[in-house]
Structure 1
Amino acid sequence: MKDLDLHLVSIFDAVMTEGSVTKAAERLALTQSAVSNAIARMRVVWDDPLFTRHGRGIKASARAQELWREIQEPLAAIRMAASPVRFDAATSTRAFRVAVTDYMSGSLWPSLRQHIERHAPGIRVLAVPYTSQETGARLRDNNIDICIGGLQHMGDEIKLQRLFREDWVCAMRPDHPLARSPLTEETFLEAEHLLVSLSGDPVGIADAALERAGKRRRVAMTLNNFSGAPSLLLSSSLIAVLPAGVVRTHPLKDQIYSCDVPLTLAPFDCQMAWHTRYDRDSAHRWMRALIVQTCNQIWTAG
Structure 2
Amino acid sequence: MRDIDLNLLTAFDAIMSEQSISRAAMRMNMTQPAVSNALGRMRVTYNDPLFVKAGRGVKPTPKAEQLWRDVHGPLQVLRDAVHPPVFQPARAKRRFRLGTSDLMTMVLWPGLRRLIEKEAPGIDILAVPYTCQDMDRLLADGGADMVFGVFEELNTEYRSQPLFTDDLICAMRKSHPLAGAPLTMKRYLAADHLLVSLSGDPVGSVDKLLEQQGLKRRVAMTVNQFLGVPTLLAESNLICVAPRIAVTKCTQNDLHLTRPPFDIPTSVVSMAWHARCDRDPGHIWLRQSIAAICAEKSPRALRCASVADRRSGRKEKVELDRNVFA
What TM-score, normalized by structure 2, do the two folds share?
Answer: 0.80
Number of the residue aligned with 2:256: 257
Change (3 A) 1:6 1:180: same
AA aligned to 1:163 is: L
Q: CA deviation at 1:181?
A: 1.1
Change (3 A) 1:260 1:241: same
| CA distance, structure 1, for counterparts of residue 59 and residue 51 of structure 2 | 5
Number of the residue aligned with 2:41: 37
Number of the residue aligned with 1:198: 198
Structure 1 SS opposite 2:242: strand
Mapped contact 1:136–1:154 kept (Cα < 8 A) = no
| CA distance, structure 1, for counterparts of residue 10 and residue 93 of structure 2 | 22
Stretches of structure 1 lacking an aligned partner (at least 5 in a row): none
Mapped contact 1:76–1:277 kept (Cα < 8 A) = no
Mapped contact 1:169–1:258 kept (Cα < 8 A) = yes
Deviations 1:14-39 (A, max 9, x none): 44435459986964763745532321
Number of positions where the alignment pairs a residue of Structure 1 with one of Structure 2:
297
Structure 2 SS opposite 1:183: coil
Structure 2 SS opposite 1:30: helix
Number of the residue aligned with 1:273: 272
Number of the residue aligned with 1:159: 159
Number of the residue aligned with 1:94: 94
Number of the residue aligned with 1:285: 284
| CA distance, structure 1, for counterparts of residue 298 and residue 56 of structure 2 | 45
Mapped contact 2:11–2:24 kept (Cα < 8 A) = no
- Matching of residues 235-250 of structure 1 within 5 Å: 235-250=235-250
Q: Does 1:186 align with 2:186?
A: yes
Higher relative contact order (CA 8 A, sep 6+): 2
Structure 1 SS opposite 2:220: strand
Deviates more, 1:224-233 or 1:2-11: 2-11
AA aligned to 2:40 is: S
Number of the residue aligned with 1:11: 11
Number of the residue aligned with 1:142: 142
Mapped contact 1:209–1:263 kept (Cα < 8 A) = no
AA aligned to 2:244 is: A
Deviations 1:235-275 (A, max 9, x none): 111111111221232232x5122111112221121111122
**Identical aligned residues as a percent:** 41
Q: CA deviation at 1:125?
A: 1.2
Mapped contact 1:80–1:280 kept (Cα < 8 A) = no
Stretches of structure 2 lacking an aligned partner (at least 5 in a row): 302-326
Q: Does 1:216 align with 2:216?
A: yes
- Matching of residues 20-59 of structure 1 within 5 Å: 20=21, 27=31, 30=34, 32-43=36-47, 50-52=50-52, 58-59=58-59
Mapped contact 1:157–1:275 kept (Cα < 8 A) = yes
AA aligned to 1:234 is: A
Mapped contact 2:165–2:300 kept (Cα < 8 A) = no
Number of the residue aligned with 2:311: none
| CA distance, structure 1, for counterparts of residue 93 and residue 224 of structure 2 | 32
Deviates more, 1:119-128 or 1:192-201: 119-128
AA aligned to 2:168 is: W
| CA distance, structure 1, for counterparts of residue 249 and residue 276 of structure 2 | 33
Mapped contact 1:189–1:217 kept (Cα < 8 A) = yes
Structure 2 SS opposite 1:4: coil
Mapped contact 2:100–2:127 kept (Cα < 8 A) = yes
| CA distance, structure 2, for counterparts of residue 57 and residue 139 of structure 1 | 13
| CA distance, structure 2, for counterparts of residue 133 and residue 258 of structure 1 | 31
Deviations 1:72-114 (A, max 9, x none): 4444443343335721111211211111111011111011111
Number of the residue aligned with 2:295: 296
Change (3 A) 1:65 1:77: same
Q: CA deviation at 1:202?
A: 0.6
Q: CA deviation at 1:3?
A: 5.8
AA aligned to 1:180 is: G
Mapped contact 1:21–1:36 kept (Cα < 8 A) = no
Deviations 1:157-197 (A, max 9, x none): 31111111221111111111111111111111110111100
| CA distance, structure 2, for counterparts of residue 201 and residue 281 of structure 1 | 35
Number of the residue aligned with 1:131: 131
| CA distance, structure 1, for counterparts of residue 191 and residue 156 of structure 2 | 43
Mapped contact 1:21–1:32 kept (Cα < 8 A) = no
AA aligned to 2:90 is: A
